[in-house]
Structure 1
């Protein structure tokens, strides 16, 4: 069998397979090391945006995090250590990119077409490509090829480039920009931050974790208890939203958004000196309509004489820099394209021909025509023997590790049952898939209203181009975990080798 990707999801799948006694698997990784985004990204200021103890596997808890919010290099080392500890490296093929997947009905297997022309066959496939599939190489602004200065991307940062005394522009105000901006502001001659939409950014104290606290974190069960308490609170919010009547949700969310915006204005008055800059940094949308960020230095950066916030829309790149709609051209030695990723919840991420299943079902075309949907976020009836660890409606309010663990549990449990039965074909039943999708869609009504109506004016990957909120699982973490670990095997169809199945049908 094959696992695609050696990021957090691929590592979880590899460990779960190993624990289940499955030794015949390969992990295909396009990069030259494990870790996924934590290997590819190493830009200035990179760190986790949730507490470190919530950003780890339950089977590999780490008591040695150096800070409350661990730096990126430390998170990368953690993934490497976990992969080594559980013996995954012999299973990994690095520098191997899967460009397409094609189901072979006659042989009950997948043909994985690799960059360079090779084909690898696998009985079962687990897609662990993650939530942020690939960086957006084209920011959608004319003239990028004309620019003659240095281009930096968060996922391809050139650490050897000396920023000292340089004139720098950064496009975007998302999570990476919020970290990069304060990290380089004191080193550069000037820094222009180009903002399309103001971001919610709250202060984030990040103290070192003392040795005594690290020792306390080694207490058996303590980290799990603390993390579990947080999950209970988040789970309660999601379940309340998913079950509350819209007649109550609408006025409540309007009131909460207005109160939050008012409170944020007060925070900006404390942190940003210039009134015009404060006004430009004030969101006109709710705090959970777009991914909120946390960084103490981001807002304070705009008090520096060498940092400016630019809100005039970008017209085009020029040979020397960027021209905005007000006619002004700014000259830059370096431009940072912090313009985001192709995300798992966008139908455009799944291009036609990428995954072709049973009876010619093309995943890209299917999602475009029918919307994003999968049974328990992991399986489609026409994609036999295949599970996706980060699929539609999969994020349930936890850190990434917690939910890729439970989706990996789902895949490994189904594979284990197939092996027990001697089955070479496993596919979720259409009726089970449809019932799950109806239920999850109904529960998502409040979130959909919040993102697609109340906050429809704000661009956000929480709402995709079809107006749906397929990023979020509205029923919460614990129901999702039960669904993945206890789904009835009757929701799946199991069949033996093709020739044996055909002989039985003819007898």
Structure 2
């Protein structure tokens, strides 16, 4: 069967793309997902303490607000339910196939062939929405396979009885900040192996009163106002202190001061405070919120270990400072972002061009974080320079707007094939790199010890778009159509148009 589009990934990015393509009149869509249900990270991750790490009001589609969040920072189960609600309301579930792992895609002159094991799917357009954080990483530590106790990665959490157990956790990123206080509640002893401290600020989390939820449902503009306020605060943190570090360095310093003050209030031991204080600039690594992370380290059965892990054996972890006997090993070691996720599977474009090889040989790049020269009819949603702001939904909606402008222009020209020009791609890359080098904390701050996933293997911060979200939205609405080449539609095109929805909103 020939599809109008194949979308790989059924998280919020893939669902957003499917919604936009349906609005544009494409009906014959297929969404492939390797997991057994939709929701992306909010389906896969189920560890204790899981919650959104920015205010819930900003973590949703602006066109589909959720007035029912129970807390300012909603727990993960509510994000999963929200994803299910969106899928049902917008008719996405019938388009989805689960348990399908895509292993390659190839451009065949006027269409894409997408392979998944023994199956091959043919589509006019290919959209990859495999997420930034989808490939769990196991630390490269000698002897880890010899450990006889329980080993669990945060991205593959299962029932774990920690009562009376000696537990170790490797990693202190945003996931660990949520998980460590939960582990400490049950474990008899907890050792936290930290390579890199994290900037943590107080979490203004509280239940959302039922009366407020009813108000949001009755008067949506009130919730939109709350969303605007939350987004503005995040913009101040991300853009002023990180992207425009050169001009507004004082904002970055204030953010560091605020996090240090939070640490001082919760940890009185100066030695422990020093160990928990980052030596890199705020923003080099994604910061997070917590009211009980620092306090957990003051409990008598919790120990912070900063020595480098030498090896793991059958019953414990060995460092330069000694040996720690454990029963359960928790891996909060994040994801293989740059090594295995750009792209998540082999993508071969025009004239046999390999996307993964090309990115690694010629810098990670994508025009407006969406398209790549040499890859016609291809939309890559988890791309270099695509992530705008702190809410993933800002990125998703910018990409949806880009798709709307692009497909509308293609239709008006009677075309079925688009491809960004090399010139436009090169100019965009030059602008982004110049902004990073001239203004951002990634170039002008002290990031050398941050071990941040923002940086690729070449030491370049090419994940985040170094502009304001306002600028990103404006670019998505008004990028020059001359930046694309459009080819006439072929007789075999299965592009379906519904004039009542084709222009979008």
Please report the TM-score for the alignment, with normalisation by the length of structure 2: 0.90
Q: 1:225 aligns to what?
A: 225
Gap change, CA 1:139 and 1:385, over 3 Å in 2 = same
Q: 1:503 aligns to what?
A: none
> How many Å separate the matches in 1 of 2:242 and 2:312?
44
Deviations 1:89-122 (A, max 9, x none): 11001111111111112xx1111111x2221111
Q: 2:498 aligns to what?
A: none
Q: 1:75 aligns to what?
A: 79
Gap change, CA 1:41 and 1:238, over 3 Å in 2 = closer
Name the SS for the 1:268 alignment partner.
helix
**Alignment of structure 1 residues 91-490 onto 2, 5 Å:** 91-105=95-109, 108-114=110-116, 116-136=117-137, 138-159=138-159, 161-218=160-217, 219-232=219-232, 234-235=234-235, 249=247, 253=249, 261=256, 264-326=259-321, 328-343=322-337, 346=338, 349-350=341-342, 354-448=346-440, 450-451=442-443, 454-490=446-482
Q: 1:504 aligns to what?
A: none
Gap change, CA 1:489 and 1:144, over 3 Å in 2 = same
State the shift of 1:189 in Å. Answer: 0.6
Name the SS for the 1:349 alignment partner.
coil
State which of 2, 5, 29 in structure 1 corresponds to 2:9. Answer: 5
Q: 1:64 aligns to what?
A: 68
Gap change, CA 1:241 and 1:300, over 3 Å in 2 = closer
Deviations 1:170-208 (A, max 9, x none): 000001111111012121111100000111122214211
State the shift of 1:12 in Å. Answer: 0.7
State the shift of 1:36 in Å. Answer: 0.2
State the shift of 1:34 in Å. Answer: 0.7
> How many Å separate the matches in 1 of 2:446 and 2:357?
29
Name the SS for the 2:134 alignment partner.
strand
State the shift of 1:131 in Å. Answer: 1.8
Preserved CA contact (<8 Å) 2:18 2:92: yes
> How many Å separate the matches in 2 of 1:133 and 1:257?
30
Name the SS for the 1:330 alignment partner.
strand
Preserved CA contact (<8 Å) 2:135 2:340: no
State the shift of 1:451 in Å. Answer: 4.5
Preserved CA contact (<8 Å) 2:163 2:187: yes
State the shift of 1:372 in Å. Answer: 1.0
Name the SS for the 1:155 alignment partner.
helix
> How many Å separate the matches in 1 of 2:225 and 2:204?
23
Deviations 1:138-170 (A, max 9, x none): 2111111101111111111012x2111111100
5+ residue gaps in structure 1?
501-507
> How many residues are paired up?
488
Preserved CA contact (<8 Å) 1:257 1:285: no
State which of 15, 22, 27 in structure 2 corresponds to 1:18. Answer: 22
State the shift of 1:25 in Å. Answer: 0.7
Preserved CA contact (<8 Å) 2:243 2:441: no
State which of 26, 47, 52 in structure 2 corresponds to 1:48. Answer: 52
Preserved CA contact (<8 Å) 2:168 2:193: yes
State the shift of 1:447 in Å. Answer: 4.9
Name the SS for the 1:98 alignment partner.
coil
Preserved CA contact (<8 Å) 1:347 1:368: no
State the shift of 1:24 in Å. Answer: 0.8
Preserved CA contact (<8 Å) 2:152 2:329: yes
Please report the TM-score for the alignment, with normalisation by the length of structure 1: 0.90
**Alignment of structure 1 residues 484-503 onto 2, 5 Å:** 484-497=476-489
State the shift of 1:4 in Å. Answer: 0.8
5+ residue gaps in structure 2?
493-505
Deviations 1:43-81 (A, max 9, x none): 000001111110101121011101110000111111011
> How many Å separate the matches in 1 of 2:258 and 2:65?
36
> How many Å separate the matches in 1 of 2:152 and 2:380?
31
Gap change, CA 1:272 and 1:486, over 3 Å in 2 = same
> How many Å separate the matches in 2 of 1:49 and 1:317?
32
Preserved CA contact (<8 Å) 2:51 2:74: yes
Preserved CA contact (<8 Å) 2:436 2:442: no
Gap change, CA 1:56 and 1:499, over 3 Å in 2 = closer
